[in-house]
Amino acid sequence: MRINISFMLNGSEVVVEVEGHHRLIDVLRDQLGLTGTKEGCGKGECGACSVLVDGRAVNACLYPALEAEGRSVTTIEGLRGPNNELSTVQQAFVDQGAIQCGFCTPGMIMSAKALLDSNPDPTEEEIRSALLGNLCRCTGYVQIVEAVRQAAVQLRDKP
Amino acid sequence: MGRYNYYKPLSLDDALALHDKIPGALFIAGGTDVMVKIVNGDIEPSALISLRSIPELSGIKENGSTRIGSMTTISELIEHPKLHKRYPVLIEAARRHSGPQIRNVATIGGNLCNCSPCADTATPLLVLDAKVRLRSIEGSREIPIEEFFKGPGETCLSSSEILTDILLDPPQREARAVFMKKGRVHMDLATASVAVLLEMEKNTCRRARLAAGSVAPVPLRLSQVEELLEGNIISSELLDRAREISSETVSPITDIRATEEYRRRIVGIYVRRGIERLLKK
Ligand SMILES: Cc1cc2nc3c(=O)[nH]c(=O)nc-3n(C[C@H](O)[C@H](O)[C@H](O)COP(=O)(O)OP(=O)(O)OC[C@H]3O[C@@H](n4cnc5c(N)ncnc54)[C@H](O)[C@@H]3O)c2cc1C
Ligand code: FES
Ligand code: FES
């Protein structure tokens, strides 16, 4: 069963032909070539596959592709600026040394973005809660929390 | 991974008719259990019938009593402006359910229909005496949630029924309740969990409701403890007895997350601690 679906991806409409058993991550990586979204566990545990659907963080590895129809999907590729410059949250991860191997980073950043979009001034506890569904096997999380804090301050100061 | 068709019916009637027509079809809500079971090879449905596009199943309605649509996500429960005041114990449990990405798609209906003994929303709904409404091609029926859970991986829901609503009576003014969950880290499925609801009149317990998760094949009402407490002044001896009975009456298993003995101990301790906490409130 092949079905055409259309959805907003990083601000532009896309139309793709998908099958019933495809997951959103299959469509993003294999069909649309957006390999920024990573697949770690494939079972909802690690958060490497986190993307935003209608502004909320979800695991693309558990999200049936057909449910994206008519929705708005944001991936890590959607965060960069018009001249390929990094977004505030991305730059904060670089500045704070919050990236080692980098495999968890796109997912971490999407969860951080979902948090900061809804809560511009989070406490450390709120930052840690927002990142509960994202595992990092390298950094020990301290720099990641610092990066989110830096991004929060910079985004609030932005005119 | 298997291949399957995916249907998005727009009404309950269409969903039930599709299910009737396609052998091996399975309903899917948020998919956080279904998709994992498919990846693990535990199930091989011929088709998934999504409940996401059915308007009748979403939303929370209040007029005295409360009706929670089965497709309400765990995040929607937490963010609802009134539920946390009216049924704090349910929202405490929702806050302990998984992490943000899962909570944004996982539904309360899926949590119950998955029939896992560790479903976090089950024990609060048990102590709140919730009812569930089920719908099949033949019609709909309403049952107390206690009757809903039958055995491991088994509910009284037949595979061709849809859970449509969770119904809650208006909160009792004097009732206080707590939810406690033991997990290794915050996101874990519960090693054991306990919900306690007490209605006190001065020092005497007028009504008690207790339920425990992950310590029996189903989320379990601890009726012997309820009987012990009701009509009595809750003394320190009674608390000890409540702890003992709780540990004895549950039937936990040993698995990768904990041993049987540990689960028995935790349940006893949480029952005692839960009651103590409520008495202090
Ligand atoms: C990483 C991770 C962490 C988790 N942590 C927790 C946790 O802390 N606490 C917890 O309780 N659970 C947890 N879970 C389990 C799961 O997220 C929950 O049980 C969730 O609430 C299931 O809801 P769903 O909508 O995703 O169900 P689905 O996966 O869509 O469905 C589950 C089952 O119920 C059936 N079903 C769903 N809705 C209906 C309906 N309305 N009528 C009839 N049948 C229906 C489906 O056919 C399926 O058999 C976790 C899962 C993952 C992957
Ligand atoms: S790949 Fe999706 S949560 Fe791990
Ligand atoms: S930087 Fe390696 S997993 Fe996080």
Q: What is the mean pLDDT of chain B?
A: 94
- ipTM for this prediction: 0.97
Residues of chain A with CATH 1.10.150.120: 82-157
Among A72-86, B155-169, B203-217, which stretch is predicted with the lowest mean pLDDT? B155-169
d(CA A15, CA A121): 37
Give the pLDDT band of residue B159 (cuts 50, 70, 90).
confident
Give the pLDDT band of residue B152 (cuts 50, 70, 90).
low
Give A71's DSSP letter: -
pLDDT tops 90 at residue B158: no
Question: Which residues of chain B are within 8 Å of residue A19 when distances are taken between CB atoms?
Answer: 3
What are the extents of the domains in chain B?
5-50, 55-168, 175-279
Query: Which helix (H) or strand (E) segment is B177 a member of?
Result: strand B175-182
What is the tens place of the pLDDT at every residue in A17-37?
Answer: 999 999 999 999 999 999 999
Report the atom number in ligand 3 closest to the C-alpha of A108. Answer: 4
Ligand 1, pocket-test mutation among B28, B44, B148, most atoms within 8 A of CB: B28
Between the CA of residue B119 and those of A93, B131, B232, what are the distances in Å? 36, 16, 31
Q: What is the mean pLDDT of chain A?
A: 97
Strand pairing category for B131-135 and B162-168: antiparallel
Give the pLDDT band of residue B222 (cuts 50, 70, 90).
very high
Question: How far from chain centre, in Å, is Cα A138?
Answer: 19
For residue B187, give the ligand nearest its CA: 1
Asked if residue B49 lies in contact with residue B15, where contact means CB atoms within 8 angstroms, the answer is yes
User: Which of B146, B134, B166 has its CA nearest to residue B62?
Assistant: B166
Topology of domain B175-279 in CATH is: Enolase-like; domain 1 (3.30.390)
Q: Is the CB of B155 under 6 A from ligand 1?
A: no
CATH numeric code, B5-50:
3.30.43
Instruction: Name the residue with the closest Cα to ligand 1, atom 36.
Output: B110
What CATH class does B55-168 carry? alpha beta
pLDDT tops 70 at residue B155: no
Please compute the mean of the pLDDT values over residues B162-180 and round it to a whole number: 95
pLDDT tops 90 at residue B173: no
Q: Do B100 and A132 touch (CB under 8 A)?
A: yes
pLDDT tops 90 at residue B73: yes
- Report the pLDDT value the prediction gives residue A1, as an integer from 0 to 100: 80
What CATH class does A2-76 carry? alpha beta
pLDDT tops 70 at residue B238: yes
CATH architecture of residue range(s) A82-157: Orthogonal Bundle (1.10)
Between the CA of residue B15 and those of A18, A45, B43, B47, what are the distances in Å? 21, 30, 20, 12
- Distance between Cα B30 and ligand 2 center (Å): 15
Substitution target from A2, A5, A39, A58 for chain B, most B beta carbons within 10 A: A58
Establish whether domains B5-50 and B175-279 are of one fold. no
Substitution target from A3, A19, A21 for chain B, most B beta carbons within 10 A: A21
Report the atom number in ligand 2 closest to the C-alpha of A46. Answer: 4
- Report the pLDDT value the prediction gives residue B217, as an integer from 0 to 100: 87
Q: Is the CB of A57 under 6 A from ligand 2?
A: no
Q: Do A59 and B101 touch (CB under 8 A)?
A: yes
pLDDT tops 70 at residue A7: yes
Q: Which residues, other chains included, contact B169 with Cβ-Cβ below 8 Å and sequence gap of 6+?
A: B65, B128, B129
Instruction: Name the residue with the closest Cα to ligand 1, atom 17.
Output: B32
What is the tens place of the pLDDT at every residue in B43-70?
Answer: 999 999 999 999 999 999 998 899 999 9
Which residues, numbered 113 to 152 in chain A, qualify as contacts with chain B under a Cβ-Cβ cut-off of 8 Å?
114, 129-130, 132-134
